[in-house]
Amino acid sequence: MVRFDDYLNEQLKDPEFKKEYDALQPEFEVIRAIIEARTSMNLTQQELSERTGINQADISKLENGTRNPSVRLLQKLAEGMDMTLKIEFVPKKQSVFAGQK
């Protein structure tokens, strides 16, 4: 039986596949962050719905990737979990010319 990680690593050798996979990473990270935040507080989707006023079905859609959240919706989720939303822009890699004038 082939393990998923082995299969994924093999597929990532294909440049076209890797490009598409990398393009989806930010969405996957948002989904993962929502799920991890909710489960770290031992909240069900229904309990989070009650705390935020966001329909449970919409929370489910966010978590399964069929709905993209707005920043406002992410803020509402964070507030419902007594958390702060933090969004960052992080350099891909250090520039060779950084710090040089």
Q: State what percent of residues in the chain have pLDDT above 70.
A: 92
How many domains is the chain partitioned into structurally? 1
CATH number at residue 37: 1.10.260.40
In a domain, 72, yes or no: yes
| Domain residue limits at 59 | 4-80
In a domain, 27, yes or no: yes
Contact (Cβ atoms closer than 8 angstroms) between residue 55 and residue 49: yes
97 or 61: which leads in pLDDT: 61
Contact (Cβ atoms closer than 8 angstroms) between residue 52 and residue 79: yes
In a domain, 10, yes or no: yes
In tens, the pLDDT along 54-74 reads 999 999 999 999 999 999 999
Burial of 91 from C-beta contacts in 10 A (0-12 / 13-18 / 19+)? exposed
Burial 65-78 (b: 16+ CB within 10 A, else e): eeeebeeebbebbb
Contact (Cβ atoms closer than 8 angstroms) between residue 42 and residue 65: no
Contact (Cβ atoms closer than 8 angstroms) between residue 52 and residue 46: no
Task: Please state the rounded mean pLDDT for residues 2-20.
Answer: 92
